[in-house]
Structure 1
Amino acid sequence: MTLIQTYLQKCRQIIDTVEEQTPQIQQAARWFADTILAGRMVHVFGSGHSRIMVEEMWPRYGSFPGFNPIVELSLTFHNLVVGANGQRQAMFLENVSGLADRILRNYALSDQDCALVISSSGCNVVPIEMAELFQQQGVKVVALITKEHSGKSASKRTDGKKLGDFADLILDTGAPVGDAMVSVPGLETPVAPGSTVGGAMLINSIKAEVAQLLTEAGRPPKVLTAGVLVGAERATELFESAYDEHAHRLAKLYEQVGVPSYVSQPNDREP
């Protein structure tokens, strides 16, 4: 068996793991659909490479508004690897207690909201605190982790709690401990991670279920769709309307945030 075949075989095992979680995926989708139908948003957060899953949910082709992608550049922009904005800083910052509170200070949360927090290990401080703070606000939390890897890893929190400890529902990427899935002869450490594969399948399985629920409820989503499928004019219409809906939903998260001002108060005067 070639190493390519080895990797693909392990990916097929991940597919089985995702399929076995169908009831959990459907539950997450029901919660998310209820939030979106209420005019609210599902908050999606991930630090480090978990940002990939945030962007997989929204906005991209085949996705639709209703999700609030929370991507902090200080935690995710490490493409330079070293130097300014490098990986060392990002890995340090994702374990700084209190940063999650500063991030969520920007939003007026509601118990109608849901959250999807992604962390393969489930052991870094910022995603754990994000989930904890969401729950304190009455927000249902779905955690997307790698169960085997999380179970073998040590939490960076002093109390030892992990992301799964602050989740109403846990989804498993199906990747192995350490994430990398292929052992190369003569090489000390394995290569080719699998959590992105499992995570993307979970994200899009949820997305499909939510789209069905919204459509059945009479609120079919405005899906970002390629012009080659629906024509350039319709594609532009869908993109513009989807972005506008996102703005309208996001406005609700800002309108009553933090310290009240005269701008945030109802205007009772006659026009």
Structure 2
Amino acid sequence: MVQTYIQKCRAILDTVEAQETQIQQAARWFADTILAGRMVHVFGSGHSRIMVEEMWPRYGSFPGFNPIVELSLTFHNLVVGANGQRQAMFLENVPGLADRILRNYDLSAQDSALVISSSGCNIVPIEMAELFQQKGVKVVALLTQEHSEKSLSKRTDGKKLGAFADLILDTGAPVGDAMLTVPGLDTPVAPGSTVGGAVLINCIKAEVARLLTEAGQPPKVLSAGVVVGAQRAVELFESAYDEHAHRLAKLYANVGVASYVSGTSAEL
């Protein structure tokens, strides 16, 4: 089983490598957003939360990304009872929830977005992508192409995440995600979308870092003290988190109804 899974993961790497042109395009959009002082919105419900946190914040990552993670859609460890998995799976297919989430942000056409959903069929991530596009935000969808094509959308119009994406990236996992068949077990095990998704995320991250550096704005990368020294690591963490706050502030300054403290009414 171990060797079989590793072999299938190697095939996933081949699928990712074949998408180098798409990865570079996504990175270019994201770098342009970050260089403009704005943020790349990263959203995923369910276990797609893993990919959101893989992008930022963690070692080897840098500010410029807005991780949108709703606990009601992603809090899995209790499984049953209050805040259980049944509720989370129900909520990620409630129409209108995406609009309530994005109501919190003042979006700009300079922004870009990465929306992650393996099936691309749940309502909330689909509506997130749709709303981003309506605001002129370029959307990159990270999904499992084969699985999405064979799955049924939960939307009444049948549209899937890919219908609202300017660019699609494929994790390379199979239909149903699980990749191994165990003799005597009638259901496959060991999913692959997390493997492909994490590789795609980090390919994008590395390419964005290159573009920012070449543009004269090298990113503040969260780095381990054992690599850069304890003092430098603290400096990087503090400055990276502060930059994140400064970028995030722009998403709140003019959101919704203007007040005397909002950016639009600063002269008052």
Compute the TM-score of the two structures, normalised by the length of structure 2: 0.99
Out of 84, 88, 91, which is 2:89 matched to? 91
The secondary structure found in structure 2 opposite 1:186 is coil
Out of 133, 158, 168, which is 2:131 matched to? 133
Asked whether the 8 Å contact 2:111–2:138 carries over to 1, the reply is yes
Aligned residues with identical type, % of pairs: 86
Out of 159, 178, 181, which is 1:180 matched to? 178
Out of 215, 222, 247, which is 2:220 matched to? 222
Aligned to 1:116: 114
Q: Does residue 165 of the first structure (1) align with residue 179 of the second (2)?
A: no
Which amino acid in structure 2 is aligned with residue 202 of structure 1?
L
TM-aligned CA distance change 1:5 to 1:136, over 3 Å: same
Q: Does residue 40 of the first structure (1) align with residue 38 of the second (2)?
A: yes
Aligned to 1:73: 71
The secondary structure found in structure 2 opposite 1:91 is helix
Which amino acid in structure 1 is aligned with residue 250 of structure 2?
K
- Aligned pairs, how many? 267
Asked whether the 8 Å contact 2:116–2:142 carries over to 1, the reply is yes
Matches within 5 A, 1:45-60: 45-60=43-58
The secondary structure found in structure 2 opposite 1:263 is coil
Deviations 1:76-122 (A, max 9, x none): 00211000111000000000000000000000000000000000000
Write the distance in 2 (CA, Å) between the matches of 1:14 and 1:49.
19
The secondary structure found in structure 2 opposite 1:138 is coil
Which amino acid in structure 2 is aligned with residue 170 of structure 1?
I
Write the distance in 2 (CA, Å) between the matches of 1:268 and 1:260.
12
Aligned to 1:190: 188
Which amino acid in structure 2 is aligned with residue 240 of structure 1?
E
Deviations 1:110-141 (A, max 9, x none): 00000000000000000000000000000000
Unaligned runs of 5+ in 2: none
How far has the Cα of 1:164 moved from its partner? 0.1
Aligned to 1:10: 8
Which amino acid in structure 2 is aligned with residue 63 of structure 1?
S
Runs of 4+ in 1 over 3 A off after TM superposition: 265-269
Asked whether the 8 Å contact 2:178–2:189 carries over to 1, the reply is yes
How far has the Cα of 1:267 moved from its partner? 3.5
Which amino acid in structure 2 is aligned with residue 197 of structure 1?
V
The secondary structure found in structure 1 opposite 2:179 is strand
Aligned to 1:64: 62
Unaligned runs of 5+ in 1: none
Asked whether the 8 Å contact 2:259–2:265 carries over to 1, the reply is no
Out of 234, 239, 242, which is 1:241 matched to? 239
Aligned to 1:252: 250
Write the distance in 1 (CA, Å) between the matches of 2:168 and 2:92.
21
Write the distance in 1 (CA, Å) between the matches of 2:142 and 2:161.
9
Q: Does residue 149 of the first structure (1) align with residue 147 of the second (2)?
A: yes
Q: CA RMSD in A?
A: 0.7
Aligned to 2:26: 28
Compute the TM-score of the two structures, normalised by the length of structure 1: 0.98
